[in-house]
Amino acid sequence: TQRMDQFKADTTLMEKQNYHSSVGNRVALWKFSLESFAESPIYGVGTKKLTQDICTLKNKGVIPVCNPHLHNIFLQELASHGILGFLAVILTLFTPLIYFIRTLMNTYDRELRVLAISGICFTGYIIICGLTDYILFQNFITMLLYLVLITLMSFIYYRKNLIQNSPSKSTNQPNSVTL
């Protein structure tokens, strides 16, 4: 309830055009991201210029902090790298998500289902967190994201091949072969 009370207080401040709060800062940054996107919709304004422009907003008193990013993975890519960057992040996140969902829907194998659910949860978590923060800002987190996705997808690929080449292959029963 404390978070909800803080959100209500932040909303009240924003109604008075005061963005000097956690939520207000994000909303001001998100509005700014759309303005930056309009400035260069195909290629974006670039990460360095975007960060400099954010600091200019802080110096003008619009936002309280000079943030290095826009607190939204989708708006960050849209503003800094344009529609091309936005499409890249969409493909990066939603291609594995679709792969995991299809795997889950098309198998009765318990191990494949666990791997697919793990992939769905991980990718969903990244997407949801990306709505209020820019998690790809640090190289380590980006590498970890790709490592986890590639590992889960590789395990699924390996397991599918194992099932496909198993002599006890059955289409109606869950396969009992383990990793």
pTM for this prediction: 0.82
Instruction: Kindly tell me if the per-residue pLDDT of 4 is higher than 70.
Output: yes
65 pLDDT band, cuts 50/70/90, is confident
| Average pLDDT for 17-38 | 86
Say which residue, 156 or 175, is predicted with more confidence: 156
Amino acid code (one letter) for 57: L
174 pLDDT band, cuts 50/70/90, is low
| Average pLDDT for 96-109 | 97
Q: How far is CA 170 from the centre of its chain?
A: 37
166 vs 16: CA distance, rounded Å: 67
In order of 103, 107, 163, 165, 168, the CA distances from 171 in angstroms are 15, 9, 10, 13, 10
In order of 67, 81, 164, the CA distances from 135 in angstroms are 13, 16, 37
Instruction: Kindly tell me if the per-residue pLDDT of 172 is higher than 70.
Output: no
Cβ–Cβ under 8 Å, residues 64 and 58: yes
What local confidence, expressed as pLDDT, does residue 58 receive?
86
Residue 102 DSSP SS3: helix
8-state DSSP, 46: -
Element (H, E) at 137: none
170 vs 23: CA distance, rounded Å: 54
What local confidence, expressed as pLDDT, does residue 177 receive?
46
Name the token pair of 15. Answer: 């109604």
Name the token pair of 5. Answer: 């009370």
Q: Which residues of 20-58 are buried (b: 16+ CB within 10 A; e: fewer)?
A: ebbbbbbbbbbebbeebbeebeeebbebeebbeebeebe
- Structure confidence by residue, pLDDT tens digits, 112-162: 999 999 999 999 999 999 998 888 878 888 999 999 999 999 999 999 999
What local confidence, expressed as pLDDT, does residue 8 receive?
83
Nearest to 152, CA basis, from 94, 105, 111: 111
136 vs 92: CA distance, rounded Å: 12
Say which residue, 96 or 174, is predicted with more confidence: 96
